[in-house]
Structure 1
Amino acid sequence: MNREQLITLISEKLKLIRTEKTFTQDQMSDLLGLSKKTLVQIEKGRILAGWTTTVAVCTLCRDSTILQHELGGDPLEVVDLIANNGTLQPKEKTMGGYIWWKNISEHDGFRLQQNVISQHFRILDNNNFRLISTFDEQIATKAWEKLKL
């Protein structure tokens, strides 16, 4: 699958995805940053969604069974593969978080960090690969405790 094929697929399935998520056209257009008129044009097949809208749909409606069925799994993996010319890293490497991140705890080379701006949490391994990222402190703490065992 290439970029154009994904754009076409998302454009053709957008109304079904919106309906599955029980969004009104107003809600969906607001979520995607589109005018309602543009959303209606896409849903009626008069225009295609752009790449940014396609990525937003795949991201924000990632758990859609329609999307997962049409793409054979995780929509973000498909977007990532297309955007990176078919190459994915097994884990996302970070820069280690020395500017925007504060270390909350360290254990055996692993670090639990919190972003000083967005306040979300992540766990990095000793090579700065992100293992988890979440806004939920309880999820981060549970993952951290499991890692320490």
Structure 2
Amino acid sequence: MNREQLITLISEKLKLIRTEKAFTQDQMSDLLGLSKKTLVQIEKGRILAGWTTTVAVCTLCRDSTILQHELGGEPLEVVDLIANNGTLQPKDKTMGGYIWWKNIHEHGGFRLQQNIISLHFRILDDNNFRLISTFDEQVAKQAWEKLQM
């Protein structure tokens, strides 16, 4: 799949994705930063979504079963592959959390941290690569527990 094919696919499925997520046209256009008129034009097949809109749909609606079915799994992986010419980049490396982060737990080379400003959580490996990042404390703790098994 290439960029144009992904844009076409997202454009064709946008109304289904919006309906699946139970968004009104006003809500979806606001979420994507589009005018309602532009959203309607895309949904009616009169114009194609742009690359930025396509990436936003894949990012913000990544849990859509329609997207996952159409793309054969994780939408962001497809976007990443296309954006990086078919080569997946390694996990994001961080500075290790010496500024703005407090360690909640450390074990087995992994660290569960919380940002002292935004209050979001992340888990880093022993090389400071981010494994997960979330605002949901429960999700972070569940991921932490899985690493400890």
Check whether TM > 0.5. yes
1:21-74 deviation per Cα after TM superposition (whole angstroms, max 9, x unaligned)? 221111111111111011011111222111111011111111222211211111
Equivalent residue, structure 1, for 2:16: 16
Compared with structure 1, are the counterparts of its residues 143 and 45 closer, same or farther at alpha carbon in structure 2 (3 Å cutoff)? closer
Partners of 1:10 and 1:125 in 2: CA distance: 34
Residue range with higher mean Cα deviation, 92-101 or 1-10 = 92-101
Structure 2 gap ranges (5+)? none
Considering only aligned residues, what root-mean-square deviation do their CA atoms show, in Å?
1.8
Partners of 2:42 and 2:15 in 1: CA distance: 9
Equivalent residue, structure 2, for 1:67: 67
Partners of 2:49 and 2:20 in 1: CA distance: 18
Matched, 1:78 2:58: no
Partners of 1:146 and 1:73 in 2: CA distance: 22
Partners of 1:69 and 1:140 in 2: CA distance: 26
Compared with structure 1, are the counterparts of its residues 39 and 110 closer, same or farther at alpha carbon in structure 2 (3 Å cutoff)? same
Q: What is the count of residue pairs matched by the alignment?
A: 149
Q: Runs of at least 4 residues of structure 1 off by over 6 A?
A: none
Compared with structure 1, are the counterparts of its residues 57 and 146 closer, same or farther at alpha carbon in structure 2 (3 Å cutoff)? closer
Residue range with higher mean Cα deviation, 59-68 or 82-91 = 82-91
SS at match of 2:104: strand
- Cα deviation for residue 148 of structure 1 reads 4.0
- Cα deviation for residue 144 of structure 1 reads 2.8
Structure 1 gap ranges (5+)? none
Partners of 2:100 and 2:41 in 1: CA distance: 41
Compared with structure 1, are the counterparts of its residues 68 and 143 closer, same or farther at alpha carbon in structure 2 (3 Å cutoff)? closer
Q: Give the TM-score taking structure 1 as reference length.
A: 0.88
Partners of 2:140 and 2:12 in 1: CA distance: 37
SS at match of 2:90: coil
